[in-house]
Each structure stands twice: as structure tokens, then as C-alpha cells.
Amino acid sequence: MKKFFPFISVLLLMSATQSPPGLFEVRKGKIEFHSSAKLELIKAESDALKGLVDLGRKQFAFKVALNSFKGFNSPLQQEHFNENYLETETYPDASFSGKIIEDDDLSKDGTYTIRAKGNLSIHGVIQERIIRSTVQVSQGKIKLQSSFTVLLSDHDIKIPRIVSEKLSSEISVQILAELEPK
């Protein structure tokens, strides 16, 4: 199931060497998540979202380093996040790569609702997901907005029973990114 990582590398490599038309890169990327549990609200955000979108081939790849998340309620919460739940030393990144389903011509200005289908990798576990996003294209720039939920059980993220009441089994994720041609 590691087959998708080479694809990401290929895209990143392409970005380094040549810039074919229709290839966009994340210039400003923000990702945040929150979980509303019975007792404790956990939320954090990161500005380290990286990614590429190939409008010609309708493919994309996004990646974020998990230890870049900040804004936890407490340093202890951040420590649990990194060490206990997501094991960021073993699985440093979360990534989502795949294809755009819709036939819309995204090179024209406008606002589109598209679905991105691909493999979401968190905590080393890959899930096939279809994620809906809003794409706003204007003057050669793309604004991307997306929100989705992640089930902890889908990614084999185990919550100790003691804190299971504090943590919801479902995490909401929001993404806001601005892309410019590479």
C-alpha cells in the first residue's frame, strides 16, 4: 500500500525540475482539526500543508508534517497527540493523494465543487476516501477549501480507555489552501 508515496515524490520531483502547464503548488496552506468530546475539546492547526495539483491530469498530492501542529489546549495534550495517538516519530506525515473525479475544466475562472478521490494516509494506515472540496479559480490562482471527518478507528489510532471519554472517535478536519502555478 506504499505505492502512493512514489507518486507523491514524482510530483514533487516534477515541481523541482520543470513546470508543465496546469501544475499548481500550495503557497499558503492551513490545516486544522478539532474533536468535540464529552469533557475536553481538542483542537490544533498547522501552516505546514504542502501540496501539488495537476489540473491537466486531474491529479493531486497533499502532505503535512504532523509535528507541525500547534495550538493544543496544553503541552501535555500535544505530547499525547504526538507520542501516544499518532506516533509521529514512526509516522511523521499525513498525506492525501489521488485524482479529481469531476469533469469540470478547472482552468477557467469560477467556483467549483469537486470531489477528490484518493488514499488518505494517517498513522501509517491508508484509507480510500472521496473528499468534497470547493475550488475557487480566479486570475490563475486557486483557492481550495475542504472539510471532512476522520474516524480514529479507520486509521488504527487507539485511545487509552482512561481518556476515551475525552476524545471523540471522530475528528473534523478543515483545509484552506491557496495555490499558484509552479
Partner 1 sequence: MRSTTLHIILLLLFTSPELEAQTGFAQVYTIDENDENLMVQSLHSDGRGFIWVGTKDGAYRFNGRQFINTIPDSLRSRFNVTAMAKDSIGRLWIGTSGGQIAYRQAGQWVMFMPEEGLPRKAITDIIFDRHQHLWFAAVDEGVYMYAGHRMTNINMDDGLPDNYVYSLEAMPDGQVLAGTDRGIARILLEKAKKKVAVYASRDGLPDNIVRSIAPSSEAGLYWIGMEDNGIFLYDAIHNRDAGMRFPKPWPFGRVNDLMSDGKSLWIATEDSGLLECSVSNQGVGTYLNPLPSLNKAGKLMTDAAGQLWFSTPGQLVRTTVTQMGFMDSIGHEVFTGIHALHITTDRTVWISQGKGVEKLIQKDGQWMVSDRYTFPGIALEDITTLYLDTEGILWIGTIGAGILRLNTSTGRWAKLTGNPVTENSHILSIAGKGREVWISGLNGIARYNIFEGYGLNSQPVFTNYSKRSGIGSDYVYQVFIDSRNRVWFCTDGAGLACMEDNQIRSFADSPGLKSSVVYGMTEGPEGTLWFNTLESGIVQYDGRKFTAFYNLPGNQGGSVSSILSNGEQLAIMHKRGLELLDIHSGRSIHYGRNNGINRPQVNLNVMALDAEGSVWIGMDPGIIQVKKRDPSARLMPVTLITALQVYGRDIFPMDANRFDWSDNNVTIRYEGLHYPDPDQVRFQYRLDGYHKGWITSSDREVNFPRLAPGNYRFRVRSAADNRFELGEEKTLSFYIGMPFWKTWWFIMGSSAIAVLLLWLIMRQRFHQLQQWEKLKQDKIQAELQTLRAQVNPHFLFNSFNTLMGVLEENPEQAMTYTEKLSAFYRNMLSYREKDLIPLQDEIKMLDTYIYLQQQRFGQGLHYRMEIPGNQQHQYFVPPMTMQLLAENAIKHNTISIDQPLQLRVTLEGDRLLVSNTIHRKKHPEGGEGVGLRNITARYALFTSREVAIQDDGRHFTVALPLINTNHYAHPDRGR
Q: Is 99 in the site for partner 1 (CB under 8 A)?
A: yes
Q: Is 101 in the site for partner 1 (CB under 8 A)?
A: yes
Instruction: Give the three cell numbers for residue 76.
Output: 501535555
Which residue, 28 or 117, has its beta carbon nearer to partner 1?
Answer: 117
Q: Is 151 in the site for partner 1 (CB under 8 A)?
A: no
Cα separation, 92 vs 65, in Å, equals 6
Q: Is 102 in the site for partner 1 (CB under 8 A)?
A: yes
Which residue, 28 or 115, has its beta carbon nearer to partner 1?
Answer: 115
Nearest to 174, CA basis, from 138, 155, 150: 150
Among 103, 108, 161, 162, binds partner 1 (CB under 8 A): 103
Q: What share of the chain is helix, strand, coil (3-state, %, to 5)?
A: 20, 50, 30
Instruction: Give the three cell numbers for residue 175.
Output: 483545509
Between CA 124 and CA 1, with CA 56 as vertex, the angle to 5 degrees is 20
Min. distance of Cβ 117 from partner 1 in angstroms?
A: 6
Which of left, alpha, beta for 13 (phi over 0: left; psi -120 to 50: alpha)? alpha
Rule CB under 8 A: which of 104-143 touch partner 1?
A: 115, 117, 130
Q: Is 57 in the site for partner 1 (CB under 8 A)?
A: no
Q: Is 28 in the site for partner 1 (CB under 8 A)?
A: no
In the complex, the residues that contact partner 1 under the rule CB under 8 A are 99, 101-103, 115, 117, 130
